[in-house]
Structures are given as C-alpha cells and as structure tokens.
Chain A
C-alpha cells in the first residue's frame, strides 16, 4: 500500500496568514482525507474528497485534488493560534484494500 508524502514537514506562520500543505501519492485512490491532531490528542477528521471531485470547502478549509498529478492540497485561510497542530493526509485506495494509509504529517505552528 502507498503512503501519502506530505510537504512541508513543518510550517510556521503568523496569525491571519494562510497555510498551505500538500500531499502527493503514487497510485489511484478512492478518496483522500485530511485529519488534524492536536498535541497529545486523537486525530480529528477534517474533510474527505473523492477521486471524482476537484475541490471541497469546509469553513476556512479548502481542499483540492488533482488526480492527474496525484496530489492534494489543504489550504487554511486566516489562520488562528488554535490551528496549531499536525495535519495528516490519508489515502483510501478502496476496493480490496479496506483501509486508510496515513502520511507522515505536516506540523503547523501559528504564531499569535
């Protein structure tokens, strides 16, 4: 099974700025998901985008998916200190592979 590769590994920005993180993968997917993990906590699902979708929004989050480039990006607009967390993409290959494969994550620090 493949694993998403996330870029950058770490990102530090000022409150109010936008944060963009990327996830690349190698083979076809059923869907791609983004999760957030605050320090010492469990992962929280943010958004799911299916292979036939190109863009989804949820509040200040915008996710794009380019299946031709095998990549996805997560944009957080007008960031807040509370957005400080690790962000993971998770790949769902679907079919016989009944599971999600999580990437290594991007550590986002939003400075107040």
Chain B
C-alpha cells in the first residue's frame, strides 16, 4: 500500500497568494483529517471528514482556510489569502475507523509563506 500521499511536499509562496494542499488517503479508509504542526502550538486538528462529509471543522483557524473532499480518494486544503503566520507543516491522515481510532499520517507539506 502506498500510504497517505500528500502534495506538494514543500511550498514556498508570498503573502497574499492562494495555496492548495492535496491529499490522497489510503484506499478504503473512510475518515480523513487535516492537521497543522508548529513549534508554538504543536499538532492541531483543523478538520475531520467521515465518508467525505465534514464532521468537525472547529479547528479551522479562520475563513481564509477551506477544505473539500469531493470523493473518497482526494481532499484539498486551501488557504486564500495566505499569511506568514500560516507557515507550518500540514499533515493529512486517514483511518478506516471512526475519528478516535488509529490514524495513518502522510509525510506532510512544509509551507513557508514569505
């Protein structure tokens, strides 16, 4: 199995630009999670999908962030417009179970907003 696939692995952009992060979960997994990791705040859950439906988006920091899951094999996290404080590593994870069971993480996207 290829595991969770994220792209791009690294992204450098300028403040104000739109950023789109992509995730392909493990086939057959019906839960998908987007996390953000920073030194200051640790690992934070941004949004959780189950069967392609957003279940909990209480961690999405503000309206500049949006996430979609149009089908079971693809999800995007979009930041528009981006700001320097959005610089972080963004992880996608998937699970064949409910949200509080074992999760399988992708390698992450390291985002730097200048």
Residues of A within 8 A of B (CB): 30-31, 33, 35, 41-45, 48, 88, 92-94, 97-105
A-B contact count (CB 8 A): 54
State which of B48, B55, B99, B108 has its C-beta within 8 Å of the C-beta of A42.
B108
State which of A45, A88, A98, A103 has its C-beta within 8 Å of the C-beta of B99.
A98
Least Cβ–Cβ distance between B65 and chain A, in angstroms: 17
Query: How many Å lie between the Cα of A42 and that of B107 in the bound state?
Result: 4
List, in ascending order, chain A residues with CB within 8 A of B45's CB.
Answer: 99-101
Most chain A CB inside 10 Å of its own CB: which residue of B55, B93, B101, B104: B101
Contact check, B100 vs A102: say whether CB atoms are below 8 A apart. Answer: no
- Nearest to A104 among chain B residues (CB) is B42
Would you call B12 an interface residue if the criterion is a C-beta within 8 Å of the partner chain's C-beta atoms?
A: no
Contact check, B48 vs A45: say whether CB atoms are below 8 A apart. Answer: no
Would you call B14 an interface residue if the criterion is a C-beta within 8 Å of the partner chain's C-beta atoms?
A: no
The contact size tier of chain B is 20 to 34
Chain A binding site: helix, strand, loop or mixed by DSSP? strand
Contact check, B100 vs A45: say whether CB atoms are below 8 A apart. Answer: no
Contact check, A42 vs B103: say whether CB atoms are below 8 A apart. Answer: no
Contact check, A100 vs B100: say whether CB atoms are below 8 A apart. Answer: yes
Least Cβ–Cβ distance between B36 and chain A, in angstroms: 11
Contact check, A43 vs B105: say whether CB atoms are below 8 A apart. Answer: yes
List, in ascending order, chain A residues with CB within 8 A of B75's CB.
Answer: none
Would you call B102 an interface residue if the criterion is a C-beta within 8 Å of the partner chain's C-beta atoms?
A: yes
**Known interface pairs A42-B91, A43-B91. Does A102 touch B104 (Cβ–Cβ under 8 Å)?**
no
A-B residue pairs, 9 tightest by C-beta: A92-B100, A98-B99, A42-B105, A102-B43, A43-B105, A99-B99, A42-B107, A45-B102, A104-B42
